[in-house]
Each structure stands twice: as structure tokens, then as C-alpha cells.
Amino acid sequence: MPRSEAPPPPATAHFAPPRLSLRLVAVWRRNFLVWKKLALPSIVGNLADPVIYMLGLGYGLGLLVPEVEGVSYIAFLAGGTLAYSTMNAATFEALYSGFSRMHVQKTWEAIMNAPIALDDIVAAELVWAASKSCLAGVAILAVIAAFGFTASPLALAAIPVVFLTGLCFAALGLIMTALAPSYDFFMYYFTLFITPMTLLSGVFFPQGQLPDSVQTIAAALPLSHAVSLIRPLLLGQVPAHIGLHLGVLALITVLAFWLALGLTRRRLLK
């Protein structure tokens, strides 16, 4: 038997707090350099879908619904569109692209042979997915402004909120990536979480239209907090309960990142 019997590291060691270094910038930069090669198609890809929905629903349904909460339906829809398209962009990046780099291309394994720890890689993926969703969000905001659906300088304050929204959904998405056996797994996340949340979070209609019992749950969803901040800013209003909404998004980001990191360590540091 081997000498120096030490107890095996406890399973909880995987969930120790993150230890980050500035080397994560190099990992973020790697993803940015890849994105830069295909920046235009990437932006158009992130832009086309939400803009088509916004214009289609906004003008189409807008004929039937002349006004929502005191503004035109399309102006109401603009804020919701920016919020949910940010969610989608961050989610797709953390899920599909993250999984490709972690599992298929073994990019993370290659990086771990350099003086970069897994903690740095997962954190870089988090910030990168938020950055990419923010780049897409800024493009959508430009379209919204170009169509005249927002005219307030307060709309610029939506950009940091978009980044935080991206961080929040990237962190949630990285949990799924850490658990996924294959790409097919992500389908559950979309049909069971992302899609219902999009419908319940006040993107397309005010949450007041929901039954009372559903309203309580809906108000707690992360996307609801993002919509509650972004929509008023685009309409030139200061959002109510700013601290609460920002706090919830930040708290979800931190807790989800911690969980995602723990699960990823358990998966890769065997």
C-alpha cells in the first residue's frame, strides 16, 4: 500500500470560490479574434430575427392594439425585443459555442496546458458571451433608434443593463453547458425555460395581463428584471426599483457562475 495516506479531496472542493487571474483576458481575446473574422454575418444573424419580429408584430399587431401603457405598441415592444434578444445571444454563445470549445474542439483543454486555470477560462467565457450579446444589443438599439422608436438619451443607459443581462444569461447558460452530454440537451433548456420565460416576462404584452398567481412567478424571472429596466430607459423614463432589478440580475450572475464553475470543474478536472 502507498505510504503518506491523505484523505481524498472532498467532493465540495469543486465548489470552492473562484480563483481568477488576468490571464483570462487572453482567453476572452481568443474568442474576440474568432468573432472578428465573421463579425458582420454574426451581427446580422443576431439582428435579423429580433428585428423581423419587432417590425412584424409591432406594425401588424400594432394596428389592432393602438396603445399599450400609454405608448404605441411598437415602442412598447422595442424595449422587450432588446432584452430578450440579448438573452438569446448570450444563451446561444454560452451553450452552443461554449460547448463546441469545451467538448468538441477541446479548446479549453489546450488552454489548460498553458498557465491558465479552468476558473479563468469559464470566467472568460462568461464575459465573452456577455460581450457578444452586448455587441448585438447595441446593433439592435441602433436599429430601434433609426426607426425612431426611442429618442431619449436615456436609451444609452440601457447598454450597461444589456451587458449585465448578458452576464446573467451567460452564467445560467454555462450551467447547462457544464451538464450537457451533447448539443441535443440544450433543446430542453430552450423549450422548458427560455421560451416560457420570454412569454411571461412582459416582452410582448404587459405582465398585468397575466393571472395574479402567474404574475408573482413571472415577476421573479430574470428576464422580467431586464425588461423592467430596459423598456423605461428606451421610453425616456427612469425605471422604478432600479436597485432591486440590478441587484437580482447581479446576484443571479454570481450564484449561477459559481454553480457553473463548480460543475465544470467536476466535469473537466477529473
Partner 1 sequence: MPLEISGLVKRYGRGADAREVVRGLDLKLQRGECFALLGPNGAGKTTTLRCALGLTEASAGRIRLCGLPVPGQAREARARVGVVPQMDSLDPDFTCAENLIVFAGYFGIHEREIRPRVPELLAFAGLEGKETARIQSLSGGMKRRLTLARALVNRPELLVLDEPTTGLDPQARHLIWERLRRLTAEGTTILLTTHFMDEAERLAHRLAILDTGRILAQGSPREVIAAHIEPQVVEVFGDWTEAESAGGSGAAAWAAAHAGALSRRCEISGETAFCYTDDAAPLLAHLARQPGLRTLHRPANLEDVFLKLTGRELRD
Any contact of residue 63 with partner 1 (CB under 8 A)? no
Q: Find the binder of partner 1 among 16, 23, 210, 242 (CB under 8 A).
A: 23
Any contact of residue 129 with partner 1 (CB under 8 A)? no
CB of 261 to partner 1, least distance (A): 16
Please write down the long-range contacts of 29-33, taking CB distance under 8 Å and 24 or more positions apart: 30/107, 30/111, 31/97, 31/101, 31/124, 31/125, 31/128, 31/132, 32/128, 32/131
Burial (CB count <10 Å: 0-12, 13-18, 19+), residue 187: exposed
Chain-centroid distance, C-alpha 152: 25
3-state secondary structure of 198: helix
3-state secondary structure of 3: coil
Which range in 105-113, 187-195, 217-225, 252-260 contacts partner 1 by CB under 8 A? 105-113
3-state secondary structure of 55: helix
Any contact of residue 12 with partner 1 (CB under 8 A)? no
How far is Cα 189 from Cα 203, in angstroms, rounded to an integer? 19
Binding string, residues 27-56; x marks residues near partner 1 by CB under 8 A: x-xx--xx--x-------------------
Which range in 112-120, 166-174, 183-191, 217-225 contacts partner 1 by CB under 8 A? 112-120
**Total residues at the site for partner 1 (CB under 8 A)?**
32
Any contact of residue 64 with partner 1 (CB under 8 A)? no
CB of 265 to partner 1, least distance (A): 10
β-pair partners for 149: none
CB of 37 to partner 1, least distance (A): 7
CB of 97 to partner 1, least distance (A): 10
